[in-house]
């Protein structure tokens, strides 16, 4: 058994557990880890981001795309604070992620030494597990547990603090065994119980979402629904769980849910929830389903048993991973009392709502989305920021595997650009497209230079309406004409793109969009397309004038 530093032991555990990359902003507090990574450059890629929030968002997006923990490395104090946004996203989105934080030396702790924070207290409420490794000989133990915790049950983030002097300690220690996640699955008896609970339903609906879906699981869900003529809706920003082109897909319960779908949910008699948490966005602030006992018969399948019954008391609750549940149900038949008219009605209403309405603005975003829909590769990754602009993608694009929809369900601005960079770096042959507003872009647009440095080629669609649009919408609704804090004076985005090393196009009229997008697909590098939109068109469903009662 050879002697290794704590930093070398940690890097060996990353490789042992199958990690192939990490996202970081370098810091002196974990130099030993950076030095150990120098020796494994042929097996492990280190992407140095421009901001710790960007690095954390990249790691979170990697976790969503692969189902394996995204690794983020940051320094102590300010670095960890700025990476906290990615940990919060990973927690609310149930994404496997490991944040490694350089820490002050053990001999100076509890003196408020330079940049000292107790990360166990700081991250305890927003991580599945937050710990500190004080003994280099225990690095294999802690790292094995971190990978297992991040991926088992309801996935989520783990935070490990690494005292800098621990990383320099020389130890002789054995490596751990490669981790394997632990996930519950439906038994035969439980699958029988689900089918029995669906029997006789006249207006059934499947609501699918949450973490843990593989391509195989998504295909099994589609097969089960189509074989039994069961309509499927998805939870917020999980639209890629089911092929939207299938006749059983009927829409999503996101921020821009169709009014017709909300109305139909009230008519549902049996609701089969697979993977989704039934959180605030999906239930419109817990208003579309009665708390604690819904009028609908609810069958709730979720990977975390503590989530079942947390808000809503189900008729039947089962702990199981989403993919595992879909595979167990895939070949089963359900004798419902529903006619095809029920599913067909919901599908027709979805199709009608997802066709862009005409309007007379110079840049018709509905037509632009039709162009995106035509040109998107089958396996394209679409990343979504926070804001009303994402309504255009969520309402009018068609999602489904192998394509992916990667967005923060906790509404974090600045997410889409780093997520698209991570997707492009994870698979450079696969196109990634970010939807981001002018406000969100200015929080993380510098990560385009990360893409340039490491060979990524994301396309960024920047919606420039010179306002924080979502907040402006709420402002106009609650306090009409009293604009306060929501106007933005923007920089020259073309000069910014040029400075970052990205191609650039500005689109002010509908006819300009398709050629710009085609050129972006052909460009071997990042492209920023600025879409100059009218702030009057504040969302896909309303205008400022309507919010003010003027139209």
The residues that bridge with 253 in the sheet, in sequence order, are 235
Residue 404's pLDDT is: 97
- Classify 74 as helix, strand or coil: strand
Over 90: is that where the pLDDT of 152 sits? yes
108 pLDDT more than 90: no
- The DSSP bridge partners found for residue 463 are 437, 531
Taking the alpha carbons at both ends of the chain, their separation in whole angstroms is: 77
Separation of alpha carbons 64 and 53, rounded Å: 17
pLDDT given for residue 330 in this prediction: 97
**Looking at the predicted structure, is the pLDDT value of residue 359 above 90?**
no
Q: How confident is the model at residue 551 (pLDDT cuts 50, 70, 90)?
A: low
Condensed to tens digits (0 to 9), the pLDDT of residues 125-144 reads 999 999 999 999 999 999 99
- Candidate from 60-74, 106-120, 146-160 with smallest mean pLDDT: 106-120
Residue-averaged pLDDT of the chain = 96
pLDDT confidence tier of residue 408, bands split at 50, 70 and 90: very high
Task: Quote the crossing angle between the two packed helices 322-329 and 215-228, to the nearest 10°.
Answer: 40
| Omega prior to 324 cis, within 30 of 0 | no
Does the pLDDT of residue 6 top 80, yes or no?
Answer: yes
Percent of the chain surpassing pLDDT 90: 92
Which of the four pLDDT bands, split at 50, 70 and 90, describes residue 107? Answer: confident
Q: For 471-496, what is each residue's pLDDT tens digit? A: 999 999 999 999 999 999 999 999 99
Sign of CA dihedral 249, 253, 258, 261: positive
**Position 1 pLDDT exceeds 90:** no
Q: Which two tokens stand for residue 55?
A: 């690095």
pLDDT in tens, 447-460: 999 999 999 999 99
| pLDDT tens sequence across 189-213 | 999 999 999 999 999 999 999 999 9
Q: What is the pLDDT of residues 320-353, one digit of tens each?
A: 999 999 999 999 999 988 888 999 999 999 999 9
Low-confidence winner among 132-136, 355-359, 502-506 (lowest mean pLDDT): 355-359
Region 357-366 average pLDDT: 88
Q: Which of 385, 389, 390, 392 is nearest to 357 (CA)?
A: 392
Kindly report the length of the chain: 551
pLDDT tens, 10-60? 999 999 999 999 999 999 999 999 999 999 999 999 999 999 999 999 999
Exposure string over 124-147, b if 16+ CB within 10 A, otherwise e: eebbbbbbbbeebebbbebbbbbb
CB neighbourhood size of 153 (10 A): 23
d(CA 401, CA 65): 11
> Could you tell me the two tokens for 335?
């004798």
Q: Residue 501 and residue 158: Cα distance in Å, rounded? A: 34
Check pLDDT > 70 for residue 232: yes
* pLDDT bucket at 116, cuts 50 / 70 / 90: confident
Report phi then psi at 82, rounded to 5.
Answer: -75, -25
pLDDT at 114: 81
């Amino acid at each position: 058994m050879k002697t290794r530093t704590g930093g070398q032991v940690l890097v060996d555990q990353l490789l042992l557990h199958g990690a192939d990359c990490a996202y970081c902003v370098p810091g002196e507090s974990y130099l030993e880890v950076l030095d150990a990574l120098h020796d494994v450059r042929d097996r492990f890629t280190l992407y140095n981001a421009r901001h710790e929030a960007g690095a954390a968002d990249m790691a979170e997006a990697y976790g969503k795309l692969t189902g394996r923990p995204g690794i983020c490395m940051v320094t102590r104090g300010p670095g960890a604070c700025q990476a906290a946004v990615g940990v919060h996203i990973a927690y609310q989105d149930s994404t496997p992620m490991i944040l490694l934080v350089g820490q002050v030396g053990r001999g100076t702790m509890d003196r408020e030494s330079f940049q000292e924070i107790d990360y166990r207290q700081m991250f305890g409420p927003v991580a599945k597990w937050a710990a500190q490794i004080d003994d280099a000989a225990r690095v294999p133990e802690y790292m094995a547990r971190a990978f297992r915790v991040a991926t088992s049950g309801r996935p989520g983030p783990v935070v490990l603090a690494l005292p800098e002097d621990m990383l320099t300690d020389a130890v002789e220690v054995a490596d751990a065994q490669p981790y394997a996640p632990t996930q519950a699955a439906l038994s035969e008896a439980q699958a029988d119980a689900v089918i029995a609970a669906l029997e006789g339903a006249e207006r059934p609906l499947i609501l699918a979402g949450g973490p843990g879906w593989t391509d195989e699981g998504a295909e099994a869900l589609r097969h089960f629904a189509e074989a039994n003529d069961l309509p499927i809706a998805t939870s917020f920003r999980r639209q890629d769980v089911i092929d939207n082109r299938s006749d059983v897909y009927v829409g999503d319960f996101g921020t821009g849910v169709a009014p017709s779908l909300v109305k139909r949910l009230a008519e549902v008699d049996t609701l089969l929830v697979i993977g989704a948490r039934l959180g605030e966005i999906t239930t419109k602030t817990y208003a579309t389903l009665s708390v604690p006992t819904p009028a609908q018969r609810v069958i709730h399948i979720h990977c975390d048993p503590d989530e079942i019954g947390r808000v809503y008391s189900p008729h039947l609750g089962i702990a199981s991973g989403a993919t595992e549940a879909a595979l167990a149900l895939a070949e089963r038949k359900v004798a419902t009392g529903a006619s095809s008219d029920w599913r067909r009605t919901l599908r027709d209403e979805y199709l009608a709502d997802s066709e862009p309405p005409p309007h007379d603005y110079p840049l018709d975003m509905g037509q632009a989305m039709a162009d995106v829909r035509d040109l998107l590769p089958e396996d394209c990754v679409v990343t979504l920021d926070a804001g009303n602009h994402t309504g255009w993608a969520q309402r009018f694009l068609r999602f489904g595997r192998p394509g992916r929809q990667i967005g923060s369900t906790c509404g974090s601005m600045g997410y889409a650009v780093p997520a698209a960079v991570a997707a492009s770096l994870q698979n450079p042959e696969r196109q990634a497209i970010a939807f981001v507003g002018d406000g969100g872009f200015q929080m993380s647009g510098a990560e385009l230079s990360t893409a340039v440095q490491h060979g990524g080629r994301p396309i960024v669609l920047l919606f420039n309406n010179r306002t924080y649009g979502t907040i402006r919408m709420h402002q106009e609704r609650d306090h009409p004409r009293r604009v306060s804090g929501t106007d933005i004076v923007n920089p020259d985005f073309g000069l910014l793109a040029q400075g970052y090393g990205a191609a650039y196009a500005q689109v002010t009229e509908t006819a300009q969009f398709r050629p710009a997008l085609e050129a972006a697909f052909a460009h071997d590098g990042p492209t920023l397309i600025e879409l100059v939109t009218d702030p009057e068109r504040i969302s896909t469903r309303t205008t400022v004038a309507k919010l003010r009662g003027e139209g």
